[in-house]
Amino acid sequence: MFSSLGKSIGAFTGDTAFSNITQCAPEIDMGNPKTPFLTITEAEVSLSSLNAFFDECLFGSDTLPDIDQKVGCKSLAQSATESFIHALDLIKPLFFSWTSRMQLFVMSVQITPFGTLEKRRLAVLSLYQTTWSAFLNTDPHNTGFAKSDYERILSKIEQIVALENSQTRPMFAFDGHLVRELSTICASCTDAEIRNRSIMILRSMNRREGVWDSWEVANIYEKVFKGLEDGTLSFDNLPWGLTQLLKELSN
């Protein structure tokens, strides 16, 4: 959890320095793709392992695994694009196995009535599945997804927000991902319709996840989009990270 929070803070501040970039990723077993997950928890744990595996492939891990556990290493000689492509090659078959098991699980329990909490957990898994699919289909040399992928991702987020809006009080999650995902969409998408829709969702959430506050993120990107429209900011020269964006806006 603290490792994940550290990466979240890194994205928030724009600090892309990760330690131990020469480390290797340990092999993980996603199970039989023809066998459904038995529970939502099993699907969540498996997806968490997948996310951690990708982070280790791309950024390196804190400890060096045993030599017989190595799958692939990131070399200092590799460029960022080469490392990214290498990580994608490793993750694709694992994600396809997870997707197959998840689809079989949903089919096997679709007649079972779920409560609000279970529906939200399934909606979050569906969001991650949609995001991963878009991510694996993207061009490593370009930033952002196709507009249709953005639309599907935003629809998934809206479903989750709708499940949570029965609570009128502000929400806090120590290690959530919805606000950060919307921030990433705002930072990577050049389509005005997608941007405006993302801002509207951020405004409707009234949610804080760790260092990510939905209203603060919305305020920052509204200023960024205004600067892009009037020509005072350039999309190609925007810094990464909200704190870096704030510095740029204050100049």
What is the percent of the chain where pLDDT is above 90?
Answer: 38
For residues 78 and 173, state if they share a domain. no
For residues 228 and 202, state if they share a domain. yes
For residues 74 and 19, state if they share a domain. yes
Tokens linked to 58: 């791309």
Q: For residue range 207-241, what is the model confidence (pLDDT) as tens digits?
A: 888 888 999 999 999 999 998 889 888 888 887 77
**Position with higher pLDDT, 168 vs 66:** 168
On whether the pTM is more than 0.85, the answer is no
For residues 124 and 99, state if they share a domain. no
Q: For residue range 59-78, what is the model confidence (pLDDT) as tens digits?
A: 664 444 443 444 444 443 45
* Helix (H) / strand (E) containing 71: strand 70-73
For residues 139 and 250, state if they share a domain. yes
Torsion of CA 174, 177, 182, 186, to 10 degrees: 90
For residues 50 and 130, state if they share a domain. no
* Structure confidence at residue 4 (pLDDT): 47
How many separate domains does the chain show? 2
For residues 32 and 108, state if they share a domain. yes
For residues 145 and 247, state if they share a domain. yes
Tokens linked to 48: 């968490």
Q: For residue range 175-196, what is the model confidence (pLDDT) as tens digits?
A: 678 998 999 899 888 899 999 9
Which domain does 129 fall in, by range?
A: 116-251
Backbone angles phi, psi at 19, to 5 degrees: -85, 160
| For residue 29, pLDDT beyond 90 | no
Look at 87-91, 125-129, 163-167 and tell me which has the smallest mean pLDDT. 163-167
For residues 98 and 145, state if they share a domain. no
Angle formed by the axes of helices 40-59 and 116-136, nearest 10°: 30
For residues 124 and 182, state if they share a domain. yes
Task: Name 141's Cβ contacts closer than 8 Å, sequence gap at least 6.
Answer: 81
* Structure confidence at residue 23 (pLDDT): 43
Question: Last residue of a domain, which of 72, 96, 112?
Answer: 112
